[in-house]
């Protein structure tokens, strides 16, 4: 009887461990979805453009096959003009068209290659079945408050920019009142350590040389 009870406990433990392990990849997918932008809209636009061009080409080919006049331009004539480029077109128009095509192509290429991260960070220390994602604007607000208190300035004199790998704190001191850069840096780093962000960004403090006239 005791052996059967031990075996049952071991089985329950294994099931619990497997269930936690199974939930971990699911939570990772959720966090990834919350911290990265979806490419569905860009993929839909690209698919619509390709389908539109293919449909138009098929329509012109069908109209040409039954001996009817082309809707816009004959396929053979269009191919001949493309081969003859840049003849027949002003250089300014050709350059503008090429620039537009290059920008559109670069837009789709960057969306396909870059990770597309959102302005968000993940708080570390959460369990397997939970995660906390915070907007960078909220983080910047908290860091600006710490920097303001350390520098003894008004909220309008502090601006914080939070990116994935770096936090930039810009402080405009009050005229005649020096600001200790080390104190501001320590206050911001202490606030960041309490947040336990993933990844943890580096901090850079910029003290302006132009002061603000106090009220």
Q: pLDDT for 188-197, tens place per residue?
A: 999 988 887 8
Q: Find out whether 198 and 126 touch, Cβ atoms under 8 Å.
A: no
Q: In this predicted structure, what is the pLDDT of residue 186? A: 94
- Domain boundary at 85, 113, 141, which? 113
The token duo for 167 is: 């936090």
Residue 4: pLDDT band with limits 50, 70, 90 = very low
Asked whether residue 85 falls in the same domain as residue 164, the answer is: no
| Percent of the chain with pLDDT strictly greater than 90 | 20
Q: Determine how many CB atoms are found less than 10 A away from the CB of residue 203.
A: 20
Averaged pLDDT of the chain: 77
65 or 7, higher pLDDT? 65
Residue 129: pLDDT band with limits 50, 70, 90 = low
Residue 24 within any structural domain of the chain? no
Residue 103 within any structural domain of the chain? yes
With vertex at residue 162, the alpha carbon angle to CA 160 and CA 163, rounded to the nearest 5 degrees, is 150
First to last CA, the chain: 82
Residue 1 within any structural domain of the chain? no
Asked whether residue 107 falls in the same domain as residue 125, the answer is: no
Angle between helices 91-113 and 40-65 (to 10 degrees): 130
Asked whether residue 100 falls in the same domain as residue 163, the answer is: no
Q: Determine how many CB atoms are found less than 10 A away from the CB of residue 35.
A: 19
Domain span holding position 124: 120-207
- Domain boundary at 92, 113, 134, which? 113
The token duo for 2 is: 């005791």
Q: In this predicted structure, what is the pLDDT of residue 25? A: 56
Asked whether residue 91 falls in the same domain as residue 148, the answer is: no
Asked whether residue 72 falls in the same domain as residue 139, the answer is: no
Q: How many domains does the chain have?
A: 2
Residues near 158 by beta carbon (within 8 Å), at least 6 away in sequence: 144, 147, 148, 151, 169, 170, 171, 172
Q: Is the dihedral of CA 45, 50, 51, 57 positive or negative?
A: positive
């Amino acid at each position: 009887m005791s052996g059967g009870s031990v075996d049952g406990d071991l089985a329950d433990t294994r099931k619990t461990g497997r269930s936690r392990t199974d939930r971990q990849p699911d939570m990772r997918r959720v966090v990834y979805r919350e911290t990265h932008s979806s490419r569905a809209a860009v993929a839909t636009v690209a698919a619509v453009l390709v389908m539109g061009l293919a449909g138009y080409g098929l329509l012109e080919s069908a109209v040409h096959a039954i001996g009817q006049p082309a809707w816009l331009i004959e396929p053979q004539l269009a191919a001949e003009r493309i081969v003859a480029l840049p003849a027949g077109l002003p250089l300014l128009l050709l350059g503008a068209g090429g620039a537009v095509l290059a920008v559109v192509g670069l837009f789709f290429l960057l969306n396909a290659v870059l990770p597309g991260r959102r302005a968000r960070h993940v708080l570390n220390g959460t369990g397997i079945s939970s995660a906390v994602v915070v907007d960078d604007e909220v983080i910047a607000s908290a860091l600006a408050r710490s920097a303001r208190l350390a520098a003894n300035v008004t909220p309008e004199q502090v601006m914080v920019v939070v990116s994935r790998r770096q936090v930039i704190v810009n402080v405009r001191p009050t005229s005649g009142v020096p600001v200790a850069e080390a104190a501001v840096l320590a206050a911001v780093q202490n606030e960041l350590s309490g947040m336990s962000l993933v990844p943890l960004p580096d901090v850079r403090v910029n003290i302006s040389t132009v002061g603000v006239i106090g009220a």
